[in-house]
Amino acid sequence: MDDIPGSLGWPVIGESIAFIYEFSSPSGIFSFMNKRQQRYGKVFKSFVLGRFTVFLTGREASKILLTGKDGMVSLNLFYTGQQVLGPTSLLQTSGEAHKRLRRLIGEPLSVDGLKKYFQFINTLAIETLDRWSGRNVNVLEEVSTFTLQVIGNMIMSLEPSGREQEEFRANFKLISSSFASLPFKVPGTAFYRGIKARDRMYAMLDVVISRRRQGEVRQDFLESLIMKQAKTAGGEENDDKLTDAQLKDNILTLLVAGHDTTTAALTWLIKFLEENPPVLEQLRDEHRQIQVQRTEGTSLTWSEVNNMPYTAKVISETLRRATILPWYSRKAAQDFEINGYKINKGWSVNLDVVSIHHDPEVFTNPYKFDPTRFDTPLRPFSFLGFGSGPRMCPGMNLAKLEICIFIHHLVCRYRWKPLEKDDSVQPTLVRMPKNKYPVAVEPL
């Protein structure tokens, strides 16, 4: 590692304090990366959150790390994430086991699989926005509740309100906030609270799974996985059989992956729209056209939500500008070379996505919010809104569906103004506005 430039910081803690501190600055972790890139170049080493790591950026690096070709790298969660999500999570498996899990999980999340949840999501978006009229709202909180209600219903038919939903939400918030914490399992720490909340969440899932096995039938994600288990319970080995531990680890993985990222994307999108009136007007036109062509008294339909070309570009530009997952972490499964530096097997290698998304050679005037960048196809590996390669986000279609539905009802009904100007980012793994984006909402 000697020939790779960079600093390992203080003994034991390394550069963790600077790393966590930069998280909360307006540009988030990008400022941590950027300062060091200017000093050391596109490849540098550091020691953060308990481990040696090499940070890389650029299209070549993203191609190598995301295609994972020839088994060069595997996914690499921080210790806290590994402990909270459990060993059989999709995010911790690789090779054939990963492919199999991904196939099982991918079916209900495919475009066809999502069709049956469309009406629920549409009704929930309308009910959520009914409460916004003439009020001051915290967009992030509202959107977080909406996306959690969607994923809770899809996975285990959780009702949008009631005691179970409250318990579910309280545990989920603690789990979510433990991911970027220091790995000290001591009472009072975020990590400890996250582990305890995970245990309570698993106990809840045990109760739900046992009710299903006793004959309660629901049309949800859990049901489809339990049905596969039941079919193969005859003793013979089958590719579709998951253990209860695998069931719970992967349901939690879907909750975490499907909630935080969509919540952040939708919040940033609403913020960017307000800051860019011409974009908002063009988007509103697209949605008004959809409304105009509709029969009196009917609501949004499945085919309409799948035909919103400008909205799709606005979503992509939001994911580029906000870069919700600022880096992707991998582990070198073998020795390899990149940018003239040797990476040793076992090292943690992190791809800096913010720099890729703001590369002026690919995106002219990169800090401008401009959805027309997506009028023509981009060069491969220059836009990583949903990742790329074998680990591309399996919930991509669900995220787009939730955002399109929510935005349709929002722009057709309301205008909104921020109650304060603040571009700071929360100190969490997923980039979100620190002030939760409070706005005053008025009917159009």
Domain ranges of the chain: 57-443
- Cα 180 to Cα 19, 20, 219: the distances in Å are 10, 8, 34
**CATH code that applies to domain 57-443:** 1.10.630.10
Residue range 219-273, pLDDT digits in tens = 888 887 777 666 555 555 556 677 778 788 878 877 777 788 899 999 999 999 9
Residue range 160-211, pLDDT digits in tens = 888 888 888 888 888 777 766 666 777 888 788 888 888 898 898 888 888 8
Mean pLDDT along residues 309-338 = 89
pLDDT at 408: 97
CA dist., res. 202 & res. 218, Å (int) = 19
Contacts of 378 (CB under 8 A, 6+ apart): 362
Residue range 72-107, pLDDT digits in tens = 666 666 566 666 666 666 666 666 666 777 777 767
User: Does the annotation flag 393 for ligand binding?
Assistant: yes
Q: What angle is formed at CA 158 by the lines to CA 245 and CA 411, rounded to 5 degrees?
A: 120
State percent of the chain over pLDDT 70. Answer: 83
pLDDT at 1: 44
Nearest to 147 by CA among 372, 400, 389, 358: 400
State percent of the chain over pLDDT 90. Answer: 30
